Structure 1
Amino acid sequence: MWQDGLAGECKVLQAGWQTPRPVRRKGRLCTANKHPGWCEKSPHKLKSTPVQLDKSYGKLYKHNQCHYMLKHLQDGEQISVQMPPDIAGHWVSESCEVRPGPEFLTRSYHFSSNRTFQALQFYYRDNHCTKPSYALLIEGSLHPRQASWLVRGGTESDYQLSRVLLVSYSLPVAKDIQVKLEMSCGLTEHLQPDLSYELWVEGSDRDCTHGLDFSMQELQLLRMERRFRPSETARHAEELFVGDVHTERTQRRNYRPTGYQPPLQNIKTYENSCNTCQIISVADLHHPPVLPSRTDHPLRLYGNWVSKRCEVRPGVLFLTRHFVFHKDSNIWEGHYYHYSDPVCRHPTFSISAKGQYSPGVPSTTVMGGTEYTFTVTQMKVTPMDVATTSLLNVFSGDECGKHGSWKLGVQQDVTPTLGCAALGIRLPHTEYELFYMGQDSAGHRLLFNGQRPTNGSSPDQPHKRATSYQPPLIHCSSGQKGLYTVPAI
């Protein structure tokens, strides 16, 4: 589906929101846990926001549940981010994760106060992580450095590996891995299930990790969020984000992250309802976590879905999303609110798109996934800060609305100009999508759609269809009324 795939496509506008190098005077001194550092903290009142989120919806929908949930991301929680982060502790996945490939895995990372770490990655044969395939144990050291120049709110770090161990959990898996390792590093010994093997050790000339497309480049980008709820001042949760994995497996080892994977939960602060966290936290290399068996939820798109958090995309993009799927008509709407900061407090522009989608077909590539084809035929754009308004006005030609006519906070239909060249979007536009429906620990329905290609391209051909997912959207309303025709302010 065309949507927030603007990473790498906003040729003109990106120049207007590239993040400058962080400076200390804009931070707030953090003293939590006696480890001083500079952090972000989200305010309750947003005095500097030129166009508020509620205005972008219009008065008609000002008080509906979906609007409330998106607005809550702006001022319902407080988020502090320590820079550099103090990540000492034990962090685990909160669900079965999907990496490009696809690969199904869970993670359990230990970071010590002396800068050493031990990371466990458990891989599975199924999308519910009930059938362990093999595991990697990675040891090394990690040194957080400075605030990222590329990804605002992130911390750059250096890492050094000391060894990588492999354990497979069945004979067929061991044989399959052995074939891969024979081709990549000339391994001749026969792998046996439940025995550990060194794929690489510091000082060795042989590196067998290539055969598994293994990389820990994810450790080059870190972000640790501490979330406070105003109504529950004594409660907080800690989440650790590490860098994203390139959607092309062959590019993993050379890729420097510009986004994040799903967050890891601190085992000391995760919600009691997170049974997955508990199962993973007690696992080890020879006792992999086996998550509860369950069936895939039937995919029912009908209704409204919104972001659960401020989302980060490769290409220095921060956004929230709202999808509307109309019942029995195969018509969809997508509303994308872009921001200049990693907690989505300062909007830059919004896009409303509308089109059609095909009936879903079960994926033969990604277990549990459903394939769709989405077409965008209509689009409206609203500049929400002065810089974006100016940049749209100086864009030459009539290929993004009427030249020189853009006004702050005023929505403009760009369908007559066949899209917006300034955003790299042409209409009509078709994309090949992947969807999956899940459920969080509290029982809320979640909707996942395909991860955007890391290189910023569009999945506009069947072979470019995603094999992994973006952060989930949460179901907020069963009503089919959309927002496409509502005035921007």
Structure 2
Amino acid sequence: MVTRCCLEPEVCDNSTTAARLLSSRRNLSTRLTMWVLLGVLAALLTSSPTLASSFEDNLIHESFENFPACEDVLRAARQRPVRAPQPPDLKGTWVSTSCETRPGPRYVLRSYEFHRDRSFRLTLHVYRDPWCAHPSHTLTATGSHTHGIASWVTPGATEADYTLTKVLVTAHSHRDASDLASAINESCPGRVNKAWRPHKQYEVTSYQDSSSSSSPPAAALNDVTTWQDEDCSSTALASAWHELQLLRVEEEVKRPLTSRRKPRTRQGGEREKDFERNLGVDVVEDDLEDGPVRELFLGDLHTDASHAPLYRPTGFQQPLRNTRYMGSCAVCRTVARSSEKSPPHLHARPSLPLLLAGSWASSRCETRPYGMFLTRLLTFRPDTNEWEATLIFYQNPECGRPSFSLDAFGTYSVPPHAESEYDQDLLLKKLYLTPEDPNLADALNLYRGKGCGKPGSWKPGVRQDVTPTGGCVAVSLKVPSLEKEIFRIDVGPSGSLQLYTGQTPTTPHLHESAPRPTSWAPPLSQCRLAHPQVDNSLMPMVGARVAASSTSPIGSSLCSTLVRRLLLVLLVFVGRHLVL
């Protein structure tokens, strides 16, 4: 290696600064180019239903062999080697692995720190956008917690109690500071004495020792008058911390299967990594070994905001990852480096077109309220607008002991008065139920009349059609029924496409007037079925439909085909490389 000496430090510093500035501008230019191209693609597919349908058909067939088998994905979700110590050890700092969506919707990033003496410091960053790129304010809560007994509602979880001592809020813009001050005054009239300023902490909750309860109110941090044992944040800022009432820590030895990625040569791999870094991609370093991953599961939040302050969790949220075991998680590192006055900024990106065609499977064991655990397999056929789903429910959080399974079939469509691009209506037309547990089969035999299937005929492992009885009361499903859903397509950490569905409501609704979900369930990974219903006939040309109504069939068909093929290549390229 040759070391270059410089006799004029100022010149060298200027040269280094100029080089860095030039590199930064090139990176920004590359990112902007990709955003523009992806935005144009999304606009074209949205404006032309015929183009979107043809594009979706060709995309699923051309990328079919690159997807992992659905059975492999589900097997990896069921066979994850995890260990859940009891009682859970919370010591350390735990951070979000992606931008989280809470009911409302409310977009947050979490950084929770727990100490050996059972005290904690919770930092919750709230954002205005679903990508967590524009922070609104940050809540900081301090207090202590105590572990209780094992939960009798949620297997594998530990109940806990917590005590808050102080909650601080920091706004990140003048508009947010004004909105927060108004919200606090609505909850606790007259508590804000002066106009709030951004990047400055304000105390909105204070719980102190009862021995000093007779002291008069004081001007707390930065122009907010607070009384002892007063909470001005739970209602105004929706800052219920009841998630601390249910805990579970998992230590994972091997990461689940997410996608198949071709190995890269050393020279080519470095070039690809540099290109991905320029796009803000979560680069998976080849020299990092897959070590143990520790995750913290906290209690879920009620999907109805009016019930959230009184709801005790019975399920789990998206897990937090311990900062000592972040691995290649770029979002984790960004959140870990943040603070109350310097919140993390993730990269914003345009929404991908809603291409539902194909199959999507759970990449890990999922949780639902009231101690339910399941894996999902969804399949969409855009040529007939039909969907089918296989949901297997389990008795333990590792998805090792099945309880029952559901096979549902129906059609899907865009609602007549859709309020967003995510809205879809799913019509359930046929439903099969298979009890896997003998105790459940005996319980189903107790239903008489049209409660759930043919009375007295349930046997373990035998599937039965419950459509003639109008569904099954035991699983709160009615046939036929219309379910209001939301769907979103995104790119996962490994570059593969993921499907997000609406979060299941905490309180089931058996009527069609139920509201649509406002938050997302865990994502599903795209996969291929072992025996897809695809024949060997040649696929139609992408531009054939447009050419039929064209005045110049040959030229228009060729042009349409080339344009659509270019769009297909662009989306596949972006889907594999554009990961934030």
Please give the TM-score of this superposition, normalised by the length of structure 1: 0.80
**How many residues end up aligned between the 2 structures?**
414
* 1:229 and 2:257 correspond: no
Structure of greater relative contact order (alpha carbons < 8 Å, 6+ residues apart) = 1
Structure 1 residues 384-463: aligned runs within 5 Å: 384-458=436-510, 460-461=512-513
Matched-pair contact (CA < 8 Å) for 2:173–2:198? yes
Structure 1 residues 250 and 88 mapped into 2: Cα distance closer, same or farther (>3 Å)? Answer: same
Question: Which of these residues, 78, 82, 101, is aligned with residue 79 of structure 1?
Answer: 82
Matched-pair contact (CA < 8 Å) for 2:136–2:171? yes
The answer for the alignment partner of 1:378 in structure 2 is 430
Question: Which of these residues, 288, 301, 305, is aligned with residue 356 of structure 2?
Answer: 301
Structure 1 residues 213-362: aligned runs within 5 Å: 213-229=238-254, 235-272=291-328, 274-359=329-414
Task: Give the Cα separation in 2 of the matches to 1:328 and 1:234.
Answer: 41
The answer for the alignment partner of 1:192 in structure 2 is 197
Q: Which amino acid aligns with 2:71?
A: H
Matched-pair contact (CA < 8 Å) for 1:131–1:290? yes
Q: Which amino acid aligns with 1:264?
A: L
Task: Give the Cα separation in 2 of the matches to 1:377 and 1:90.
Answer: 47
Structure 1 residues 96 and 230 mapped into 2: Cα distance closer, same or farther (>3 Å)? Answer: closer
- Match of 2:359, SS state, is strand
Per-residue CA distance 1:10-59 (angstroms, 9 max, x = gap): xxxxxxxxxxxxxxxxxxxxxxxxxxxxxxxxxxxxxxxxxxxxxxxxxx
- Match of 2:461, SS state, is coil
Across the aligned residues of Structure 1 and Structure 2, the Cα RMSD in angstroms comes to 2.3
Per-residue CA distance 1:258-299 (angstroms, 9 max, x = gap): 111100011111231x11111100000000000122222222
* 1:174 and 2:177 correspond: yes
The answer for the alignment partner of 2:11 in structure 1 is none
Instruction: Say which structure is richer in helix.
Output: 2
* 1:470 and 2:524 correspond: no
Matched-pair contact (CA < 8 Å) for 2:326–2:333? no
Q: Which amino acid aligns with 1:406?
A: W
Shift of 1:364: 4.6
Matched-pair contact (CA < 8 Å) for 1:325–1:480? no
| Max Rg structure | 2
- Match of 1:344, SS state, is coil
Task: Give the Cα separation in 2 of the matches to 1:191 and 1:478.
Answer: 56
Task: Give the Cα separation in 2 of the matches to 1:332 and 1:66.
Answer: 16
Per-residue CA distance 1:320-354 (angstroms, 9 max, x = gap): 11101013211000111011111111111111000
Task: Give the Cα separation in 1 of the matches to 2:255 and 2:504.
Answer: 34
Question: Which of these residues, 65, 76, 80, is aligned with residue 69 of structure 2?
Answer: 65
Shift of 1:440: 2.0
Matched-pair contact (CA < 8 Å) for 1:213–1:250? no
- Match of 1:447, SS state, is strand
Matched-pair contact (CA < 8 Å) for 1:361–1:372? no
Task: Give the Cα separation in 1 of the matches to 2:350 and 2:336.
Answer: 24
Task: Give the Cα separation in 1 of the matches to 2:510 and 2:520.
Answer: 15
* 1:163 and 2:200 correspond: no
Shift of 1:474: 1.0
- Match of 1:431, SS state, is strand
Matched-pair contact (CA < 8 Å) for 2:126–2:136? yes
Task: Give the Cα separation in 2 of the matches to 1:331 and 1:480.
Answer: 17
Structure 1 residues 424 and 92 mapped into 2: Cα distance closer, same or farther (>3 Å)? Answer: same
Shift of 1:399: 3.6
Shift of 1:189: 2.7
Matched-pair contact (CA < 8 Å) for 1:324–1:480? no
Task: Give the Cα separation in 2 of the matches to 1:281 and 1:124.
Answer: 17
The answer for the alignment partner of 2:553 in structure 1 is none
Task: Give the Cα separation in 1 of the matches to 2:414 and 2:532.
Answer: 20
Instruction: Say which structure is richer in strand.
Output: 1
Q: Which amino acid aligns with 2:254?
A: R
Between the aligned residues of both structures, percent identity stands at 37
- Match of 1:212, SS state, is coil
Shift of 1:105: 0.8
Matched-pair contact (CA < 8 Å) for 2:321–2:332? yes
Q: Which amino acid aligns with 1:208?
A: C
* 1:152 and 2:177 correspond: no
Shift of 1:222: 0.5
Structure 1 residues 86 and 205 mapped into 2: Cα distance closer, same or farther (>3 Å)? Answer: closer
Structure 1 residues 373 and 230 mapped into 2: Cα distance closer, same or farther (>3 Å)? Answer: closer
Larger deviation, residues 159-168 vs 394-403: 394-403
- Match of 1:176, SS state, is helix
* Gap regions ≥5 residues in structure 1: 1-63, 483-489
